[in-house]
């Protein structure tokens, strides 16, 4: 499952390096698409109209997914796992849509997903020179402050209404800055979702595996002024799907890659960041697994969370394994040494030569600076605490000039902040208590018992006691209480006795200071020097490079094909027959009754899942896979196990993206779900 979940985890530390391209590797911004290379290799180059249709037909889920418009009435196709938290929020003890699936047979039955936001990219503008002018002559903390201020100013100028989202995107780690302008849709309604058992068929054991049999599909609809949106562009369905060897494209929003990290940065990942994450999420997995056993209702409220935790764990394990492979890291070491030798023999040595050692020194300081910062960042893993922190910080940040604020509270970002505060959704007190207690325990371990921040959070109580009393005592689960605090501003926050607000206030100075140390004293050095490394690469190796992923719209291309695993050929397609063969009756290999009852109506030889060597990463979940006519042939939902090393390098021989075949989608909608309304709409009837 390729989902840029937990924006704090997966999308947080955007790299933005440039990459030298081999094979079909590369996640290309639309305004830097390598049409000439594609033409040379495949005899096909997209027209401007083709690219425009892709751009406007694609959507980003602000929570970390991709999707596409698939009808003139604003119907959006994405993955089941991209809407599972909406399905969960719309369910309760009586109506469990996770179990039954969801299908709106009439427009009136479509139900709004709390807090869901879609973004459609409408413009890209190069602002590199403006940012360069603002940061000229600065270093370290001053560089970072100047750049943040420039971003805030540029974004505010652009965001002239709450319907717009404007973001300055750092490409090639500062080699380029582009302003991305999005149209925001905040009224998003659920149209169709299969059962949890179908959407996650194969569960954690089959996640990142292939052959695969997973209907990881859903449809939502964007509304505008209370009516279905009428988008100017949308994607049509391919009548025949794709065949092995066909050229295909994937359009979507890959979250982050780190492909030109220096060796010192990769060692930091292996030695510090990944092990800490692995332990944190492994323990959380244990907590949630056992929490589910309390009863059916607990299982229901924890299911979606557990799926994401297990997905994160598999990603992190895959990344760790890639870095723990001595031959792979050795290759990276050799590449880096070669680049530095080449540089040393060139006229650029003076300008760029010192950058690697500067990055290495900063990476060394990151070994102590990052764990403290990360410990505080965990707190937003409690959704209710996250609300409290947002309220506390919003009141403080709003009092500052726009260009001095924390980046996520800049003027242009405020509409989305307010929407999160205002959105009504259910919270499970029991689950929130378990999660918050886990986070507080983790902080105590990372910081130590006698750290002032630990004392501020816990006093003389245990993490369990603090979590239980804060969650049971807070009023923040009610949107009206949050909105009242938001409207009350700084004085309301200062006077609040809500225990979660009290907790968020107590820890804020320590969390801010840890962030300041990391960002201003450490990462600012990395940023400036990583920019030099990218410039050295441009200078020595030309401009056929793509920037690392930045959760912005990219297109990647490749062909439908399998790979060789342990000497055995893995063929690129599975069929619906294979799905029935893998059904055992035990979760996560349990087909819902509907599938068994309708089996006689299903064309079992229909292609169901497929793989291609397109270069994707977390965040591409829900991306359409299209052919050269721009027609949908599949729906990306995962990568194979070798794709996890794609965080650091692209292995063309084994890295594969996994999609639901467009024919399998249609067949399931027709024969199993009888979802005629959706079918008619995507067929243009």
- Give residues in contact with its own copies (CB under 8 A): 205-206, 209, 267, 270-272, 275, 278-280, 282-291, 294, 313, 317, 320, 324, 326, 364, 434, 438, 444-445, 449, 460-462, 465, 584-589
Tally of helices (H runs) and strands (E runs) in the chain: 27, 23
Nearer to its own copies, 11 or 466 (CB): 466
Nearer to its own copies, 335 or 445 (CB): 445
Least distance from its own copies to the Cβ atom of residue 87, Å: 23
How far apart CA 211 and CA 372 sit, in angstroms, is: 41
Local structure of residue 453 (DSSP, 8 states): H
At 674 the three-state DSSP class reads coil
Least distance from its own copies to the Cβ atom of residue 315, Å: 13
Only one residue has tokens 């140390």, namely 517
Residues counted in the chain: 685
Least distance from its own copies to the Cβ atom of residue 460, Å: 4
Least distance from its own copies to the Cβ atom of residue 446, Å: 11
Written as six digits, the tokens of 178 are 């582009």
Least distance from its own copies to the Cβ atom of residue 528, Å: 23
At 601 the three-state DSSP class reads helix
Least distance from its own copies to the Cβ atom of residue 61, Å: 29
Nearer to its own copies, 487 or 568 (CB): 568
How far apart CA 323 and CA 267 sit, in angstroms, is: 8
Q: Are 29 and 552 contacting, i.e. CB atoms less than 8 angstroms apart?
A: yes
Least distance from its own copies to the Cβ atom of residue 271, Å: 4
Nearer to its own copies, 141 or 464 (CB): 464
Least distance from its own copies to the Cβ atom of residue 213, Å: 12
Q: Are 486 and 421 contacting, i.e. CB atoms less than 8 angstroms apart?
A: yes
Written as six digits, the tokens of 278 are 């692995």
Nearer to its own copies, 285 or 598 (CB): 285
Nearer to its own copies, 317 or 666 (CB): 317
Only one residue has tokens 């949050």, namely 482
Least distance from its own copies to the Cβ atom of residue 581, Å: 12
Q: Beta 218-224 vs 75-78: how paired, if at all?
A: antiparallel
Nearer to its own copies, 348 or 589 (CB): 589
Nearer to its own copies, 219 or 281 (CB): 281
How far apart CA 588 and CA 166 sit, in angstroms, is: 41
Listed in sequence order, the residues at least 6 apart from 223 whose beta carbon sits closer than 8 Å to its beta carbon are 74, 185, 187, 188, 189, 229
Q: Are 673 and 592 contacting, i.e. CB atoms less than 8 angstroms apart?
A: no
Rg (CA), the chain: 24
Name the residue among 638, 647, 672, 614 with its Cα closest to residue 203: 638
Peptide bond into 334 cis (omega under 30): no
Nearer to its own copies, 208 or 385 (CB): 208
Q: Are 222 and 74 contacting, i.e. CB atoms less than 8 angstroms apart?
A: yes
Name the residue among 570, 593, 583 with its Cα closest to residue 653: 570
Least distance from its own copies to the Cβ atom of residue 386, Å: 21
Residue 120: strand pairing partners: 183
Ranges of H-type helices in 200-273: 203-206, 263-268
Peptide bond into 588 cis (omega under 30): yes
Least distance from its own copies to the Cβ atom of residue 157, Å: 45
Nearer to its own copies, 188 or 439 (CB): 439
């Amino acid at each position: 499952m390729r989902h840029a979940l937990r924006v704090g985890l997966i999308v947080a530390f955007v790299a933005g390096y440039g990459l030298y391209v081999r094979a079909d590797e590369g996640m290309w911004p639309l305004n830097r698409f390598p049409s000439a290379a594609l033409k040379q290799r495949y005899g096909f180059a997209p027209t401007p109209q083709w690219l425009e249709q892709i751009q406007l037909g694609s959507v980003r889920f602000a929570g970390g997914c991709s999707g596409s418009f698939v009808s003139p009435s604003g119907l959006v196709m994405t993955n089941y796992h991209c809407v599972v938290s909406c399905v969960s929020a719309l369910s309760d003890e009586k109506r469990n849509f996770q179990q039954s699936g969801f299908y709106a047979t009439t427009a009136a039955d479509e139900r709004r997903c709390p807090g869901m936001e879609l973004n459609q990219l409408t413009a890209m503008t190069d602002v590199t020179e403006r940012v360069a002018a603002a940061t000229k002559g600065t270093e370290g903390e001053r560089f970072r402050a100047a750049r943040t201020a420039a971003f805030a100013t540029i974004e505010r100028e652009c965001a002239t209404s709450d319907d717009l989202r404007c973001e300055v995107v750092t490409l090639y780690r500062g080699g380029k800055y582009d302003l991305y302008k999005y149209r925001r849709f905040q009224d998003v309604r659920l149209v169709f979702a299969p059962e949890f058992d179908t959407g996650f068929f194969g569960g954690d054991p089959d996640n990142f595996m292939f052959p695969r049999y997973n209907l990881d599909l859903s449809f939502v609809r964007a509304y505008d002024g209370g009516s279905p949106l009428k988008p100017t562009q949308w994607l049509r369905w391919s009548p025949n799907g794709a065949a092995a060897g066909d050229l295909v494209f994937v359009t979507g929003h890959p979250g982050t890659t780190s492909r030109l990290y220096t060796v010192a940065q990769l060692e930091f990942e292996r030695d510090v960041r990944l092990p800490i994450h692995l332990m944190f999420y492994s323990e959380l997995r244990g907590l949630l697994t056992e929490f589910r056993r309390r009863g059916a209702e607990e299982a229901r409220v924890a299911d979606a969370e557990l799926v994401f935790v297990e997905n994160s764990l598999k990603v992190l394990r895959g990344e760790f394994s890639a870095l723990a492979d001595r031959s792979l890291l050795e290759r990276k070491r050799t590449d880096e040494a070669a680049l530095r030798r080449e540089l040393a023999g060139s006229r650029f040595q003076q300008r760029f030569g010192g950058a690697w050692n500067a990055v290495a020194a900063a990476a060394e300081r990151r070994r102590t600076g990052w764990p403290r910062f990360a410990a505080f960042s965990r707190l937003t893993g409690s959704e209710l605490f996250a609300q409290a922190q947002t309220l506390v910080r919003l009141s403080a940040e709003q009092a500052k000039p726009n260009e001095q604020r924390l980046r996520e509270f800049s003027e242009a970002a405020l509409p989305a902040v307010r929407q999160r505060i205002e959105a009504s959704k259910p919270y499970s007190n029991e689950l929130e208590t378990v999660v918050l207690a886990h986070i507080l325990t983790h902080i105590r371990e990372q910081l130590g018992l006698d750290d002032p921040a630990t004392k501020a959070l816990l006093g003389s109580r245990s993490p369990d006691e603090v979590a239980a009393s804060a969650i049971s005592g807070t009023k923040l689960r009610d949107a009206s209480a949050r909105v009242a605090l938001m409207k009350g501003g700084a004085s309301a926050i200062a006077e609040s006795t809500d225990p979660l607000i009290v907790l968020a206030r107590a820890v804020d100075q320590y969390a801010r200071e840890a962030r300041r140390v990391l960002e201003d004293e450490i990462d600012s050095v990395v940023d400036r020097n990583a920019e030099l490394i990218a410039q050295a690469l441009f200078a020595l190796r030309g401009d056929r490079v793509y920037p690392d992923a930045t959760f912005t719209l990219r297109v990647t291309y490749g062909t439908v094909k399998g790979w060789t695993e342990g000497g055995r050929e893995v063929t690129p397609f599975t069929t619906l027959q294979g799905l029935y063969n893998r059904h055992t009756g035990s979760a996560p290999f349990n087909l819902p009754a509907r599938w068994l009852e309708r089996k006689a109506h299903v064309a079992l030889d229909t292609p169901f899942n497929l793989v291609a060597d397109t270069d994707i990463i977390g965040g591409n979940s829900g991306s359409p896979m299209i052919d050269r006519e721009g027609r949908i042939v599949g729906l990306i939902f995962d990568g194979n196990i070798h794709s996890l090393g794609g965080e650091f390098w692209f292995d063309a021989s084994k890295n594969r993206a996994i999609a639901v075949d467009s024919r399998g989608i249609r067949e399931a909608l027709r024969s199993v779900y009888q979802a005629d309304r959706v079918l008619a709409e995507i067929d243009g009837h």
